[in-house]
Chains A and B, each alone.
Chain A
Amino acid sequence: MSEPATMTAAVPVRRSQSPAAADEAKAAELFAAHYPRLAGWIRRLVDDDETAHEIASEAFTRLLSRWHRVDGPAGYLYVIAANLVRDHWRRADRERRALRSQRDRSGGAEPATDGADAGLDLRSLVTSLPDRLRVPVLLHYYADLPIADIAQLLGRPPGTVKSDLAQARRALRQAWDGAR
């Protein structure tokens, strides 16, 4: 498991700062501390750096726009990002289907693949999981968040999260075997 992100004092909060300035400093500190790991996590789930940056920035924007009403902001970031990644996957899937359909109509050949991209295949299986199972998988196996943190974030008991992960593993295994 990779090391969890730690807060850094990128922007110190001065005693004389106004509340707004202090919030701004805290926001900048949170961004500096968590952006690289969040974007790196997202990068594992999408195809390019640009998309990873776009999703990470959007997750931070949503968090900061609700700054005063969020408990545990770091975890909230991952939940937002997991939803955004899901939306990205759905959109990419629609585009792939449209391209395939267009190629079929024009009689074009299927692009060659090496058949060895297991990571991408596994990702497509994770995409097909229901929300209830997919989000814990993304947070636990891709983001390395501990079960206790995921339970807190999702408002589910730790035992339920473990049960969800076990169910997800079974579903992934069956889907993988069925696709081979």
Chain B
Amino acid sequence: MIEWDDRETSGAEQDDPFRSVFGSAIVPLPPRPGAYEQVARRARRRRMARSAAAVVSAAAGVAAVGLAGIEARHAVAGHPAAVARSVSPAPSMTSSAMSVESPATSATSATSAAVRLCTSSDITVTPYDQVAGPARIGFVLLATNRSASTCRIAGYPRVTIRPSTASWTALTAAQGGTTLAGDPGAHEVVLAPGSSASAEAEWSMPGSDCQSSERDGIQVDVTLPGGAALHSEWPSPKGCVPTEAAVTALKAYVATPR
């Protein structure tokens, strides 16, 4: 039986009567032996996977070679388990490497060219994993291939941020990295049925106006290459005007290499 207390809090957190509803204090749960080593190993693998993607896309303009995809399996969050593959220019920086065309290069390029472009009827866009930091907010968006066949997608989502009721001018997100995510650069992502590509969008919430407790809304419109779109509305302090916004390029959705 829950004993609700109708008193509202006055801002004094310790006196919040609602606390009693949520039960006892936290009982620490110590880590199991080897837990840190396992976590550190998994984190290193993910950093390496991210770094590899960044290095590859930084070398745009060089002979095309497929970058091995990473199977997206995420036991905790239960995200799409199908395979998404990034097809990017080779990370070669030397002239000799540029002039060499290996059989693997041809095969991968041919495979990529043979895959059709994703359209709006193939892709579902969903917001996932809100991210926030001091004076900024954003979210990871997932573009999932819901069709029965493989397709490819490349480039940056177009993200427009505009007020629900206020009068500031709409802001279009610049292409590039965000606070938490580096920009992988535009490159093709081959999406098997059920697999996803991801990008991260973020906008600023600067200044004293953004400390207001009065509410307004921010409308965020996302349109992917190929036309798939997402409209979402986010709560925002009244009078808060974002001055900058950024969005990363789409990349193969990399979940946990466990």
Contact = CB atoms under 8 A, between A and B. Distances in A.
Nearest to B28: A36
Given A35-B35, A53-B31, A57-B39, A157 B237 contact: yes
Interface in A46-75: 49, 52-58, 60-67, 69-72
Size class of A's contact patch? 35 or more
Interface in B177-196: 179-182
Interface string B195-235: 00000000001000011110100000000000000000001
Interface in A131-145: 131-132, 135, 140-144
B4 A173 contact: yes
Contact of B180 (A36, A52, A66, A159): A66
A64 B43 contact: yes
Contact of A58 (B25, B76, B211, B213): B76
Interface in A23-42: 24, 27-28, 31-32, 35-37, 39-42
A180 B1 CA distance: 10
A160 B182 CA distance: 30
Interface in A68-108: 69-72, 79, 83-84, 87-88, 91
Contacts of A119: 23
A2 B213 CA distance: 28
A129 interface: no
Interface in B1-35: 1-2, 4, 8-9, 11, 13-14, 18-19, 21-23, 25-32, 35
A61 B77 CA distance: 13
A37 B28 contact: yes
B237 A88 contact: no
Interface residues of B, number: 57
Given A36-B29, A52-B29, A57-B35, A162 B134 contact: no
A39 B130 contact: no
A31 B237 contact: no
A35 B30 CA distance: 7
Contact of B39 (A31, A116, A141): A31
Interface of B: 1-2, 4, 8-9, 11, 13-14, 18-19, 21-23, 25-32, 35-36, 38-40, 42-44, 46-47, 50, 75-78, 129-130, 132-137, 179-182, 205, 210-213, 215, 235, 237, 256
14 contacts: A1-B13, A27-B43, A32-B36, A35-B30, A43-B29, A44-B23, A52-B29, A54-B76, A58-B77, A65-B42, A87-B77, A155-B133, A157-B211, A173-B4
